[in-house]
Amino acid sequence: MTTQMLDVASPAANPSSSGRVRQKLEFRSGNEAAALAARDIGFHVMGYFPITPSTEVAENLSKMRADGEHEIVMVAGDGEHGAAGICYGAALGGGRVLNATSSQGLLYALEQLPVQAGTRVPMVLNIAARAISGPLDIRGDHSDIYYALNTGWIMLCARDPQAVYDLNFAAIKIGEHADVRLPVLVAYDGFITSHQKRRIQVFDDPEAVRKFLGVRPDFPSPLDTEHPATFGPYMNDPDLINNKVQLWQAMEAAQRVIPEVLAEMEKMTGRAYPVLDDYRMEDADVAMVLLNSAAETAKETADELRAKGKKVGVLSPNVLRPFPAEEFRRALRRVKAATIGDRADSYGAGGGNLSLEVRAAIQIDPQNHTQVLSRIYGLGGKDFYAADAEQFFEQAIAAADSGRVAAPFAYHGATAGRPDSKARPGLPPIRAEDVPGMAQVRRDEATGRLKVELEPLWKMTEMPNRIGPGHGACPGCGAFPTLHQIYNVLEGDVVVLFQTGCAMVVTTGYPSTAHRINYVHNLFQNGAATLSGLVEMYHERVRRGELPASKDVTFVMISGDGGMDIGMGPAIGAANRNHRMMILEYDNQGYMNTGAQLSYSTPFGHRTSTSEVGASLPGKRYHHKDTAQIFAACHVPFVFTASEGYPEDLMRKVAKAQWYAKNEGLVYGKILSYCPLNWRAADDAAQPVLQAAIDSCFFPLYEIEHGYTTLTYDPDAMGRRHPVSDWLKLMGKTRHLLTPANAPVVEGIQAETDRRWARIKAMHEHPLL
Ligand SMILES: Cc1ncc(C[n+]2csc(CCOP(=O)(O)OP(=O)(O)O)c2C)c(N)n1
Ligand code: SF4
């Protein structure tokens, strides 16, 4: 039986006594289908954090919310761990809750998943499955979802956009069933299902949807103040094991509830989702077992082989937790050989999780003699074509015919690599002596502050660039002028760590790299911790005489503003420990690498793909984060703000920063950096736009040296102060704010700008502030 339903047009058009409800046809991707389902379900709250390829779920919902199509409260987490916490709290509050993520996002949220399952709090989490780092690859495989197998969440698998839509409804009903009460995850293939559009049927009968879902049952909630209760107590032996028995029992109950709910869905829609999807298995000698979209390819190949007289079939679970062990036993009882493909390895276990679990399921059946071939395929988005499916079938047929398996476990599709090519910079590496730097720094003994003498700016053209040309950034991108100004003033040996973001992604496409000095990437939630470890190892190895003390390396972390949201905890940790390193943030006011979602540094009212603009919403709903002041509160030796639009000012500050990072401890710098693509401004308009942000006092230029604040540019004193509207009118992302209806929003931005500016000025004027 297949999950496909291409004959729904008639029942959709003619809901009849068969129990089918009115539906309508749409042409949608998996992510759009998840967003439409969310709208039709009417979740109370969505907690989320952007990550490719699942981000579109939140983006679509943001657009729909701006257009007044739903009322889901959308809360952007500071990272996926935060988003999962938001969802847990919201779900404890008794309403319906949604999240969507992928890859590292799921892994970063993972710690919260057993907390929620263990305390039995239902919600729905969509996963557009993607490869996990490292190295980083944004395309699809199943290495992320396999990590969720042991969390206690129910796991549904959606093979196409229609299934994504349908299974979101089923997820609500299954998770909220009184005997189950568990959170539910709906997994679909990144890009293949998340982005490819298909014809799908969506409900066109809100009343029928309401009837199917019912109201969310009243589970114990901290919002029920009439019945005080403790949620998540500390547990001792034997209560914890008993708690886990209950979780297991809930999964057992789900074995019964899931088919019931899916049967009810089938009645309403005409679309069937058996727990284990079986295709042409009625008399199959040979089977292929695959998860999600690849199974559809395998079905076409099965048809071709059947036409040649081969008895082959395909199995694909629609439910991964609870695992359909009994269904596999039944389906494979007569099968002589099966190839089980996994889009992720369980390294060292001799198979991926699906293969291991199917083997475990059938080995307890004395009547089963199926030979199993485990194959790892399709990693990092590697396509799975009909030719691959044919090979899988042929290998199983050979095993069935010979009675022996030639290779029980193998990777499928790997190559010999490129033995002649090495990961190397396109240009020769740069050494300390090549970069004398553009500044002399000395300490003023009277004030204890640093004085910088800068070479004339034209000298910059003589400096070799530590970052080579040929990167793939957008024309006019400000990240690179920013990096060049930083690098040209830093003298000697520099080791950089880039957190994930545009500057990282466009400079390191394996096997090339634009970095001509030592470069490390770590994900943008943990770069500061990683660099602090490297710094400590450097100093310890110098102390032990293992590395030359004469070298005097400078350690620099480069991050976007988004990395200072999700990576804030480790960055503050590094600041509190005061490691000798620099954290330099290029602030382009959003998560640009993933398609311009809001960051906490996005200013109020600005349009991003998750703070959309429409009749119901005028862009972002809260003010930008003052990251420089957060670091100032850590009392590190040096904090500054700067902009690529003021190169001399920026370079002076970076020169000071290098001195402090070598001699005293941690430095943080926030650098306003142009993003023409997502600010919706001309490629060559960096200077006027940045100047306007600074002259409006929205982005004050200052430094804090040992706690003393100094304004390095004062628009008031220079007679150049302008209202924020003069800045907002220069960018497409803010033009909507200039309509009369949004005048109060602009007044709010102006008021907050004035308030923050007055505080900085007061700090500048008063040595104790
Ligand atoms: C744990 C985790 N969550 C989400 C992502 C997806 N992601 C990668 S870069 C990025 C945005 C980076 O924004 P920012 O630091 O501001 O740098 P920019 O892209 O603007 O240069 C996001 C959301 C990820 N890689 N890992
Ligand atoms: S999206 Fe913006 S920050 Fe990213 S490369 Fe393009 S211009 Fe630069």
Has residue 758 got a pLDDT over 90?
A: yes
Give the pLDDT confidence score for residue 8 in this predicted structure: 38
pLDDT over 90 percentage in the chain: 91
Q: Give the whole-angstrom CA distance, residue 384 versus residue 120.
A: 37
d(CA 516, CA 426): 8
| Cα dihedral across residues 510, 514, 519, 525: positive or negative | negative
- Ligand 1 nearest-atom number relative to CA 51: 6
Tell me which ligand sits closest to the C-alpha of residue 481. 2
8 A C-beta contact, residue 586 and residue 593: no
Nearest-CA residue for atom 8 of ligand 2 = 477
Q: What average pLDDT score do residues 740-757 get? A: 98
Q: Does 473 contact ligand 2 (Cβ within 6 A)? A: yes
CA distances from 186 to 145, 154, 196 (A): 10, 9, 17
Mean pLDDT of 564-586: 98
34, two tokens: 């998840």
Our answer on whether the CB atom of 477 is closer than 6 Å to any ligand 2 atom is yes
User: What pLDDT is recorded for position 421?
Assistant: 72
How much is the pLDDT for 6?
36
User: What letter represents residue 264's amino acid?
Assistant: E
The number of the ligand nearest the C-alpha atom of 561 reads 1
Pick from 593, 625, 671, 679 the residue to mutate for probing ligand 1's pocket: most ligand atoms within 8 Å of its CB. 593
Nearest ligand 1 atom to alpha carbon 479: 21
Is 301 a pocket residue for ligand 2 (Cβ < 6 Å)? no
- Residue 502: CB within 6 Å of ligand 2? yes
Hey, whose CA ends up nearest to atom 3 of ligand 2? 675
Percent of the chain's residues with pLDDT above 70: 97
Average pLDDT over residues 427-452: 90
Q: Whose CA is nearest to atom 6 of ligand 1?
A: 51
Residue 678 Cβ contacting ligand 2 at under 6 Å = yes
Nearest listed ligand to the Cα of residue 594? 1
Q: Helices 30-41 and 55-66 meet at what angle, rounded to 10?
A: 50
| pLDDT, mean of residues 391-400 | 98
Q: Please choose, from the candidates 485, 431, 425, the residue with its C-alpha nearest in 3D space to the C-alpha of residue 459.
A: 485
* Pocket-testing residue among 467, 474, 504, ligand 2, by greatest number of atoms within 8 A of Cβ: 474
pLDDT: is 610 or 511 the higher one? 610
The mean pLDDT value of the chain amounts to 95
Among 594, 673, 677, residue to substitute to test ligand 1 (most atoms within 8 Å of Cβ) = 594
Nearest protein CA to atom 7 of ligand 1, as residue: 51
pTM, entire model: 0.95
Using CB atoms within 10 Å of the CB of residue 207, give its burial: 0 to 12 exposed, 13 to 18 middle, 19+ buried.
Answer: exposed
The Å distance, Cα 470 to ligand 1 centre, comes to 22
> For the segment 59-117, what is each residue's pLDDT rounded down to a tens digit?
999 999 999 999 999 999 999 999 999 999 999 999 999 999 999 999 999 999 999 99
Question: Which of these, 157, 189, 180, lies nearest to 255 by C-alpha position?
Answer: 180
Assess whether pLDDT exceeds 70 at residue 719.
yes
Average pLDDT in the 297-303 region? Answer: 98
pLDDT at 422: 66
Which residues, including other chains, have CB under 8 Å from residue 379's CB and lie 6 or more apart? 131, 141, 143, 343, 344, 413
Please give the structure tokens belonging to residue 398. Answer: 């050979």
pLDDT at 512: 84
Q: How far apart are CA 333 and CA 358, in angstroms?
A: 12
pLDDT of 3 above 70? no
> For residues 214 and 210, what is the distance between their CA atoms, to the nearest angstrom?
6
Cα–Cα distance measured from residue 606 to residue 84, given in angstroms and rounded to the nearest whole number: 25
Average pLDDT estimate for 440-449: 93
Collect all residues with Cβ–Cβ distance below 8 Å to 504 and sequence separation of at least 6: 498, 521, 558, 593
Who lines ligand 1 at CB under 6 A? Answer: 49-51, 80, 104-105, 108, 500-503, 523-525, 559-563, 588, 590-594, 599
Distance of alpha carbon 251 from alpha carbon 258, whole angstroms: 10
From CA 282, how far away is CA 271, in angstroms rounded?
A: 20
Which atom of ligand 2 lies closest to the CA of 593? 4
pLDDT of 12: 41
Gap from CA of 430 to ligand 1 centroid (Å)? 28
Residue 460: its pLDDT value, please? 84
Q: What is the band of 296 on the pLDDT scale with cuts at 50, 70, 90?
A: very high
Report d(CA 89, CA 69) in Å as an integer: 25
Which atom of ligand 1 lies nearest, measured to the CA of 500? 9
The closest alpha carbon to 678, from 48, 59, 34, 32, belongs to: 59
* Cα 685 to averaged position of ligand 2 atoms, centre (Å): 14
Confidence of residue 412 (pLDDT cuts 50, 70, 90): very high
Return the structure tokens found at 418: 């490129």
pLDDT in tens, 331-387: 999 999 999 999 999 999 999 999 999 999 999 999 999 999 999 999 999 999 999
Q: Which amino acid does the sequence have at 415?
A: T
pLDDT digits (tens, 9 = 90+) for 509-528: 888 889 999 999 999 999 99
CB 83 less than 6 A from any atom of ligand 2? no
Q: pLDDT tens, 131-181? A: 999 899 999 999 999 999 999 999 999 999 999 999 999 999 999 999 999
Q: Residue 214's CB: how many other CB atoms inside 10 A?
A: 10
Grade residue 674 by pLDDT with cuts at 50, 70 and 90.
very high
CB of 682 within 6 A of ligand 2: the answer is no
Residue 616: pLDDT over 70: yes
Atom of ligand 2 nearest to the CA of 586: 3
pLDDT number for residue 464? 87
The reported pLDDT for the residue numbered 573 is 98
Q: What is the per-residue pLDDT for 426? A: 67
Residue 13 — very low, low, confident or very high, per pLDDT cuts 50/70/90?
very low
Residue 287 forms beta bridges with which residues? Answer: 313, 338
Pick the range with the lowest mean pLDDT from 5-19, 174-188, 452-466.
5-19
| Residue 586 confidence (pLDDT) above 90 | yes
Write the pLDDT tens digit of every residue in 21-57. 999 999 999 999 999 999 999 999 999 999 999 999 9
Give how far Cα 57 sits from Cα of 46, 360, 553, 660, Å: 10, 36, 44, 44
- Asked if pLDDT for residue 7 goes beyond 50, the answer is no
